[in-house]
């Protein structure tokens, strides 16, 4: 079951990535990326990492991509000139669904062949407690350094974005 | 196979609970709004003269929405326009998978936990699903290709992103206290007593967290006072302006599903979920016969009261309308007499001699009843608040979220952590 989930979610993730690149509309591309993120969370779930799986959806699909979409939509109206030539709705599922089905089938076939490739993890593996132990114990320094990098990035973005306005420190 | 059937039964139960509450809530909203504004509210739709104080209206609504023409703007983005209502509805009903509606049910010696999916990270799952809810709304606003819907979608995105953070912070306090992200653990942890008499509910342990959480839930469900995304006076109807017929019905239903799920979350996290205060499970099982007797007698008394009220209407309104509506009081009185008779008949089965297996089932059902009761109350609270408070202005909404609630949430978290460290009971 885990192997089946792993391979089919992996296949769907690939599909999401490919579809994202092939889109002409930036909004639809962003949505395919969200699809790929959710499929990636399925891959994490199949690898017995529930915490990571949920975090993938919560952070990437739920927060970051919403902001991306927000910006794209502000900049671009719903119908671009180039998009008008694209497939109409009745064709759209007909084009999108067969590849999904094929990919799921390929996933199940792969999972039959490579079922033993997924190691069985000990109980409690990937639980929030274990992730926390690693992040705030063994990798504490790296974790804190990353948060400092992010803080610097935020301040940098503010400084660059607000060039015209006077900032308190400039 | 048994586990599949078991899960299916639980899913169906929760789905029916939510879907059954939607029309009831629509009715409660209309009637509640009417009484709060000193009106009578809807009371015209009837089936054969039975109006049920407006309860027939949701049926008329459904018929109208099903048979209405589905008008769609020409300049929409076709695929996304069709996808958005579906997405909104899916997200609205998928949260309930992790909410426990009861402790466990023992049937034929088999212990069935009364939750669809007991996830290790249930609390995070709720937050993740809630964060996906933004997509449906923002896509609806964008795909309809209308300035007003787009503004509604943009407002919804900004609002939901802002309040998600507060929701997460509020919930983290609970997580610290109960030392788990599993919602069943949190509900089970609320069964204890503080100082021997106060129920150890989340609201008692985290009063500030509760206020922050309920405010964020209201903002996440886009209900008044936070219904800026559909502010009629400014942007017509917001993100669902260009939807009609069943597509609109999906948005409408999703709003009420969100209310039910929000109410369920509030009662599960902060009001002990299925826990009955001062009546822990062993006591429920021990005194099952007595409790059953009390429930039955109360049912008889209440239905007799209703029947008498209907009888008085029969006497007062004899031939008042001169049509089918005159039948309603008689039918009502008959119905309540039947309920009273059924309860009396159940009394004749000597329920106080209930066996241990029956006592277990009764205790489970009693707890499910307690949970449903709490959910109904909080769903009503949504309506009550909507018709009591005015709408926020947009800058006020953002200021409240970022400058008031966020610091309060952080402070609550720090204080909780410090207290737990001092007491030494944190896990």
Q: How far apart are CA B132 and CA A65, in angstroms?
A: 10
Candidates B121, B131, B139; nearest CB to A128: B121
Q: B13 Cβ partners below 8 Å, 6+ apart?
A: B101
Does residue B116 carry a pLDDT above 70? yes
Rounded to 10°, the helix B122-143/A26-46 angle is 160
Per-residue tokens: A26? 């930036």
So what's the pLDDT on residue A81? 47
Quick check: B244 pLDDT over 90?
A: no
Mean pLDDT score of chain B:
81
Tens of pLDDT, residue by residue over B165-208, are: 888 888 888 888 888 888 888 888 887 777 777 777 877 888 88
Q: How far is B99 from chain A (nearest CA, A)?
A: 16
Instruction: Check residue A149 and give its pLDDT.
Output: 93
Angle (nearest 5°) at CA B344 between B341 and B347: 155
Verify whether the Cβ–Cβ distance B132 to A128 is below 8 Å: no
Per-residue pLDDT at A60: 87
What chain A residue is nearest to B182 in terms of C-alpha separation?
Answer: A128
Distance CA A16, CA A61 (A): 13
- The confidence score (pLDDT) of residue B411 equals 92
- The minimal CB distance from A79 to the residues B75, B119, B134 is found for B75
Per-residue 3-state assignment (H helix, E strand, C coil) for chain A: CHHHHHHHHHHHHHHHHHHHHHCCCHHHHHHHHHHHHHHHHHHHHHCCCHHHHHHHHHHHHHHHHHHHHHHHHHHCCCCCCHHHHCCCCCHHHHHHHHHHHHHHHHHHHHHHHCHHHCCCCCCCCCCHHHHHHHHHHHCHHHHHHHHHHHHHHHHHHHHHHCCCCCCCCC
First to last CA, chain B: 37
pLDDT band at B251 (very low <50, low <70, confident <90, very high): confident
pLDDT over 80 (residue A101): no
Q: List CB contacts (< 8 A) between A48 and chain B.
A: none
- Answer whether B77 sits within 8 Å of A78, measured CB to CB: yes
pLDDT in tens, A29-59: 888 888 889 888 888 888 878 888 888 888 8
Res B271: pLDDT: 87
Average pLDDT of chain A is 76
- Angstroms from A79 CA to nearest CA on chain B: 7
Mutate to test the interface with A, among B86, B141, B142, B178 (most CBs of A within 10 A): B142
Q: Which of A19-28, B121-130, B209-218, B226-235 has the lowest mean pLDDT?
A: B226-235
Q: pLDDT at position B426, please? A: 44
Decide: B330 and B321 in contact? Cβ < 8 Å: no
CB distance B131–A58 less than 8 Å?
A: yes
Q: Is B307 on the interface with A (CB under 8 A)?
A: no
Whether the link from the prior residue into B225 is cis, omega within 30° of 0, is: yes
Alpha-carbon B94 to chain mean position: 13
- The answer to whether A62 contacts B164, with C-beta atoms less than 8 Å apart, is yes
Per mean pLDDT, which of B197-201, B230-234, B247-251, B281-285 is the most reliable? B247-251
Distance of alpha carbon B81 from alpha carbon A79, whole angstroms: 12
| pLDDT digits 0-9 by tens, B386-416 | 888 888 888 888 888 888 889 999 999 999 8
Which pLDDT does position B370 carry in this prediction? Answer: 86
Is residue A169's pLDDT more than 60?
A: no
Please tell me the predicted confidence (pLDDT) of residue A152: 93
Interface contact flag, B128 A127, Cβ < 8 Å: no
List the structure tokens of A165. Answer: 């306005």
Q: B135 in contact with A at a CB cutoff of 8 Å?
A: yes
- So what's the pLDDT on residue B332? 79
Q: What is the pLDDT of residue A150?
A: 92
Higher-confidence position of A88 and B58: B58
pLDDT at A93: 60
- Which residues in B404-413 are b (16+ Cβ under 10 Å) and which e? ebbebbeebb
ipTM score: 0.76
- Of B347, B418, B21, B405, nearest to B218 by C-alpha is B405
CB contact under 8 A, B164 and A61: no
Share of chain A above pLDDT 90, in %: 6
Residue B18 and residue B262: Cα distance in Å, rounded? 11
Q: Looking at residues A146-152, what average pLDDT do you find?
A: 92
pLDDT, one tens digit per residue, over B2-16 is 778 888 888 888 888
Of B167-181, B254-268, B304-318, the range with the lowest mean pLDDT is B304-318
Residues B381, B383, B389, B395: is their CA dihedral positive or negative?
Answer: positive
Give the rounded distance of the alpha carbon of B195 from its chain centre. 31
Which token pair is B117?
């999916």
Average pLDDT rounded to a whole number, residues A76-90:
52
pLDDT above 70 (res A116): no
pLDDT the model gives residue B349? 75
Average pLDDT over residues B233-252: 79
Domain A2-120 in CATH 1.20.120.1200? The answer is yes
Indicate whether B83 pLDDT > 60: yes
Compute the C-alpha angle B69/B72/B74, nearest 5°: 140
A82 vs B24, residue with greater confidence: B24
Q: Does A62 touch chain B (CB under 8 A)?
A: yes
Average pLDDT, integer, range B338-361 = 77
CA distance A10 to A17: 11
What confidence score (pLDDT) does residue A96 get? Answer: 66
């Amino acid at each position: 079951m885990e192997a089946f989930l792993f391979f089919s979610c992996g296949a769907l993730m690939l599909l999401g990535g490919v579809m994202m690149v092939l889109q002409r509309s930036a909004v639809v591309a962003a949505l395919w990326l969200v699809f790929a993120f959710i499929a990636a969370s399925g891959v994490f779930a199949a690898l017995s990492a529930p915490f990571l799986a949920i975090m993938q959806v919560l952070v990437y699909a739920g927060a970051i991509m919403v902001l991306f979409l927000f910006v794209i939509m502000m900049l671009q109206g719903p119908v671009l000139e180039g998009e008008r030539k694209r497939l109409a709705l009745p064709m759209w599922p007909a084009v999108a669904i067969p590849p999904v089905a094929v990919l799921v089938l390929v996933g199940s076939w792969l999972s039959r062949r490579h079922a033993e490739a997924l190691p069985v993890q000990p109980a409690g593996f990937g639980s929030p407690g274990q992730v926390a132990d690693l992040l705030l114990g063994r990798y504490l320094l790296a974790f804190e350094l990353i948060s400092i990098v992010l803080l610097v990035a935020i301040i940098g973005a503010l400084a660059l974005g607000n060039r015209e306005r006077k900032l308190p420190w400039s | 196979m048994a586990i599949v059937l078991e899960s299916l039964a639980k899913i169906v139960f929760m789905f029916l609970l939510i879907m059954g509450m939607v029309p009831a809530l629509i009715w409660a909203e209309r009637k509640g709004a009417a009484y709060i504004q000193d009106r009578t509210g809807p009371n015209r739709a009837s089936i054969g003269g039975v109006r049920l104080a407006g309860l027939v209206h949701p049926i008329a609504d459904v018929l109208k929405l099903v048979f209405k023409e589905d008008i769609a703007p020409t300049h929409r983005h076709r695929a996304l326009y069709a996808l958005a209502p579906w997405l909104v509805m899916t997200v609205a009903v998928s949260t309930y998978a992790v909410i426990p509606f009861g402790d466990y049910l023992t049937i034929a010696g088999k212990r069935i936990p009364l939750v669809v999916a007991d996830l290790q990270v249930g609390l995070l799952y709720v937050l993740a699903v809630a964060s996906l809810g933004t997509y449906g709304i923002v896509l609806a606003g964008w795909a309809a290709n209308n300035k007003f819907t787009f503004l509604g979608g943009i407002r919804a995105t900004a609002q939901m992103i802002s309040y998600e953070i507060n929701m997460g912070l509020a919930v983290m306090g609970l997580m610290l206290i109960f030392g788990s992200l599993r919602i069943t653990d949190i509900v089970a942890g609320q069964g204890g007593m503080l100082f021997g008499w106060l129920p150890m509910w989340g609201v008692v342990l985290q009063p500030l967290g509760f206020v922050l959480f309920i405010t964020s839930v209201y903002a996440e469900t886009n209900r008044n006072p936070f219904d800026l995304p559909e502010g009629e006076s400014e942007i017509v109807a917001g993100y669902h302006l260009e939807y009609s017929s069943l597509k609109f019905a999906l948005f409408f239903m999703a709003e009420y599903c969100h209310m039910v799920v929000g109410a369920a979350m509030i009662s599960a996290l902060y009001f002990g979920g299925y826990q009955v205060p001062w009546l822990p499970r062993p006591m429920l099982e021990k005194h099952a016969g007595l409790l059953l007797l009390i429930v039955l007698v109360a049912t008889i008394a209440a239905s007799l009261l209703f029947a008498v009220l209907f009888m008085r209407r029969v006497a007062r309104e004899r031939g008042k309308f001169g049509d089918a509506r005159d039948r309603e009081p008689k039918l009502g009185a008959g119905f309540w007499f039947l309920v009273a008779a059924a309860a009396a008949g159940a009394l004749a089965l000597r329920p106080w001699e209930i066996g241990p297996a029956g006592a277990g089932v009764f205790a489970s059902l009693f707890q499910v009843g307690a949970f449903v009761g709490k959910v109904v109350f909080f769903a009503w609270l949504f309506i009550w608040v909507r018709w009591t408070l005015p709408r926020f202005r947009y800058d006020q909404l953002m200021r409240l979220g970022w400058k008031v609630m966020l610091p309060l949430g952080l402070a609550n978290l720090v204080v909780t952590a410090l207290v737990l460290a001092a007491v030494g009971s944190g896990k």
